[in-house]
Amino acid sequence: MKTLTMAMFAVLVSVMSNAQNAQVSPALAVSDKYPLMAHVKQVQMEQRQSVHGSNGNVHGRTYNWHLMIAEINGRTYGLDAKPGFHREHWLHMGDYPCRQTKKGFEVEYYDENGKLRNEELVIASEE
């Protein structure tokens, strides 16, 4: 039993050490450029297939599709990445400054490397 306790203690120390060494991105605030705040409250993912064909040849691929459910100015939107935009990392639940565009919202965020980025998300649904 003592060995198990020591192993658990070692894991706990390792987890705490990694948490202290992790870089936390500072929270972003609304600004003149991004006057709205998007509260992403859910991220849904499903696998989809894309099929293309010409001259009797059919090609396809499987991809992960993400829909971010966000509340902006008291309204709930389903937001999707701009068509043709491929990315492995998606926004997580949280608050992001944004501004309205013709087809959706441009969102400002820090990527996994701490670099400040922005991306247009198109409105897929609206409540």
CATH number at residue 71: 2.40.50
| 66 domain residue, yes or no | yes
- The pLDDT of residue 67: 87
- pLDDT tens, position by position, for the chain (127 residues)? 444 444 444 444 333 333 333 334 568 999 999 999 999 999 888 777 777 767 767 677 776 777 899 999 999 999 987 655 555 556 889 999 999 999 999 999 988 788 898 989 999 999 8
Q: Give the DSSP letter of residue 24.
A: P
Q: Which domain holds residue 112?
A: 25-126
Phi/psi for 52 (5° steps) reads -125, 150
| 34 domain residue, yes or no | yes
The continuous run of DSSP H or E covering 59 comes out as strand 57-72
- The pLDDT of residue 94: 92
- CA distances 15 to 22, 80, 83, 103, 115, Å, are 11, 34, 39, 42, 25
Q: Give the DSSP letter of residue 112.
A: T
| 11 domain residue, yes or no | no
Number of compact structural domains in the chain: 1
- The pLDDT of residue 19: 37
| 74 domain residue, yes or no | yes
| 109 domain residue, yes or no | yes
| 20 domain residue, yes or no | no
**β-pair partners for 32:** none
| 95 domain residue, yes or no | yes
| 15 domain residue, yes or no | no
pTM of the model: 0.67
